[in-house]
Structure 1
Amino acid sequence: MKDHSTTEDDSNLLVIVIDTNPFEWEHSSAPIKLNDALQHILTFMNAHLAGRHDNKLAVIASHVGVSQFLYPTLNDHILGSTQQTEKDANVYQNFKVVNDAVLSGIRGLLEDHRPTLEEKDLGSSKIAASLSLGLCYINQALKLDGMGHVKPRILVLTVSPDSSSDYIPIMNCIFSAQKANIPIDVCKIWGEDAVFLQQAAHITEGIYMRPSDPAGLLQVLMFSFLPDMFSRNYLYLPGQDQVDFRAACFCHKKIVDIGYVCSVCLSIFCSFSPVCSTCRTKFAFQPLLSQARRLGARTAASNPGSPKTSTPGTPVGTPTNLTSSATMAISTPSQ
């Protein structure tokens, strides 16, 4: 959909979230290693800064157990100064500042923060925390921009699988980004599709891609994720044919295909419970179940010659629409 609120004179703020989960990058089946992928990502960052003189960039590392800014650093953000680096006559100074900050930050994460066995068992990065940091940084940048000429967007580069425990924080970030008109682009470098990030790109009208050949990551970044918000109005960008809208239950934190939703607080559960564990609402399920059983008994009595068959998990003589009755019961709190 064309965005008429952007112009070619607007500056672009790109917040990049890099998944630095060492357990995934160092996996034996990984088609590309972190060091090689960083070379592609740094080139993409430099291309973004070279697009306009007033383009802005922020880089956040999503590590196991921690999420932190790589660029700008905390001291630079507070003092409003640029990081002091050695000058190189063969390299554009702004590129060198960004490259050194990102590489040194990732190196420090890998050396200083060594994930524990419990974090390894979880096997997930702090994507939700990184999205929260990015949205807070964008909100501050928009407040400092009184003219409204800064157009922000978020790009997530990830290799980790979904973490069902992060479902609620990620959905909160998605709806916050949607309300602020901040698109969330996702590049799933390799591995299975990320269900929650698919929803993030779809809801915020961003781009979701999973490269067929991770070795050509730079080409994917340059052609699909480099165009700014104004240029996207005139480009045919890749989209999603199908979006996985599955959710994670609030009780066991697992992704479910069919669940029970509380009509009061919209909590999702993988199995029925007469009392919502989130808002403590009680549901009138037993009366409807008894009524369905009585209806099934009358039906069986009126047709004594009919065979008594039942579907798996359904009592004998119970109508097949018992599931819909149960669903109605879940959506109707008891008085």
Structure 2
Amino acid sequence: MKDASTSEDDSNLLVLIIDTNPFVWAESAKATVPLSLDDALRQILIFINAHLALKYNNKVTVIASHVGHSKFLYPLPNEETVQIKSNNGSRRNANMYPNFQFVTDQIVSSLQELFANTDPSSLQEGPGTSSMVTGAFSMALCYIHRITKQDELGHIKPRILILSVSPDSASQYIPLMNCIFSAQKASIPVDVCKIYGEETAFLQQASNITGGVYVKVDNSQALLQYLMFAFLPERYARNYLNLPNQDQVDFRAACFCHKKIVDIGYVCSVCLSIFCSWSPVCSTCKTKFAFRPMLPPAGNRPKIGGPIRGSPAPN
């Protein structure tokens, strides 16, 4: 769909959400085609620098979707930025553009601090160790809202890119759908790059509803190639490119009662809550439903005492 609201002179704000779940990245490093978080980060940093080099007024924001919480990796508050500058001032690379080096150093330092403050003993692999993609998604929307409010001319065009390795978390379905519809209302496309693991139904829906790009990486060693060809083009350039699209979208939902993904469920007609089993009372809005048997139309009703239509006549 052509985005007529964009122009060639717009400033493009890329909000990058990186899934930093240590359990899933450990599995990815041992896969048939291995990809560790360090190798992925090197390719992601090259992609970020390419986005900044594409246009002088392009901007980038990086958020980590970690286990139990989310955190801004770039930009950081002024106090932390000054500290990183002082720590990295003595090892400046003369062969690297200063702005690229500053962004790279800040992201790497923030990631190192994130994992240094993560206590492995407090994390036990299981259902409760899923990535907080919903928290990172909410932070991205709030940041975009603040930045666009400061842009009185409306030249900043934001988009969100989620780099996912974790499976769907049914417990995050409701807040995730709220984020998806908020992004749709604000005309913010949500791109999804599924680096490792099975297809994610919820993020497929996010990309489909907001008009973004969804790509499942088949060869994780070629992650940079996927990022460059599918996710580097800005919103204006996408009007003239044939980007990957989804042939099939998994529209399954998670029930509100047991937080599990269901193929067929029962929907409350008042609050649209989804349940995996029938109940006469909606547990969300407490609506009571009075079910009555459905009678056939008056012309097709059988006569009292006569044979039922469609049944053999008595001898």
> Does the alignment reach a TM-score above 0.5?
yes
Contact (CA 8 Å) 1:183, 1:201: kept in 2 or not?
Answer: yes
Pick the aligned partner of 1:129 from 135, 141, 145.
Answer: 135
Contact (CA 8 Å) 1:23, 1:120: kept in 2 or not?
Answer: no
Alpha-carbon distance between aligned partners in 2 of 1:117 and 1:46, rounded to the nearest angstrom: 33
Matched to 2:185, the amino acid is K
Matched, 1:270 2:276: yes
Matched, 1:89 2:62: no
Q: Deviations over 1:45-86 (max 9, x none)?
A: 000011111111100000000101000013369x9x896242
Pick the aligned partner of 2:43 from 40, 55, 60.
Answer: 40
Matched, 1:217 2:223: yes
Segments of 5+ residues of structure 1 without an aligned counterpart are 307-335
Q: Deviations over 1:3-38 (max 9, x none)?
A: 111111001000000000000000133721101000
Matched, 1:66 2:69: yes
Question: Are the structure 2 counterparts of residues 18 and 259 from structure 1 closer, same or farther at C-alpha, using a change threshold of 3 Å?
Answer: same
Question: Are the structure 2 counterparts of residues 248 and 43 from structure 1 closer, same or farther at C-alpha, using a change threshold of 3 Å?
Answer: same
Segments of 5+ residues of structure 2 without an aligned counterpart are none
Matched residue, 2:212: 206
Contact (CA 8 Å) 1:185, 1:208: kept in 2 or not?
Answer: yes
Alpha-carbon distance between aligned partners in 1 of 2:253 and 2:133, rounded to the nearest angstrom: 16
Alpha-carbon distance between aligned partners in 2 of 1:206 and 1:82, rounded to the nearest angstrom: 37
Aligned residues: 298
Pick the aligned partner of 1:227 from 226, 233, 243.
Answer: 233
Contact (CA 8 Å) 1:64, 1:119: kept in 2 or not?
Answer: no
Contact (CA 8 Å) 2:23, 2:125: kept in 1 or not?
Answer: no
The within-5 A match list for 1:23-38 is 23-27=23-27, 28-29=30-31, 31-38=34-41
Alpha-carbon distance between aligned partners in 1 of 2:11 and 2:123, rounded to the nearest angstrom: 44
Q: Deviations over 1:104-158 (max 9, x none)?
A: 1111222212353456442310000000000000001101111000000000001
Matched residue, 2:58: 55
The CA RMSD over aligned residues, in Å, is: 2.5
Percent of aligned positions that are identical = 59
Contact (CA 8 Å) 2:123, 2:129: kept in 1 or not?
Answer: no
Query: Per the alignment, in what secondary structure is the counterpart of residue 293 of structure 2?
Result: helix
Question: Are the structure 2 counterparts of residues 118 and 26 from structure 1 closer, same or farther at C-alpha, using a change threshold of 3 Å?
Answer: closer
Matched residue, 1:168: 174
**Does 1 or 2 have the higher relative contact order (CA < 8 Å, sep 6+)?**
2
Pick the aligned partner of 1:185 from 186, 191, 195.
Answer: 191
Query: Per the alignment, in what secondary structure is the counterpart of residue 106 of structure 1?
Result: helix
Contact (CA 8 Å) 2:194, 2:217: kept in 1 or not?
Answer: yes
Query: Per the alignment, in what secondary structure is the counterpart of residue 26 of structure 1?
Result: helix
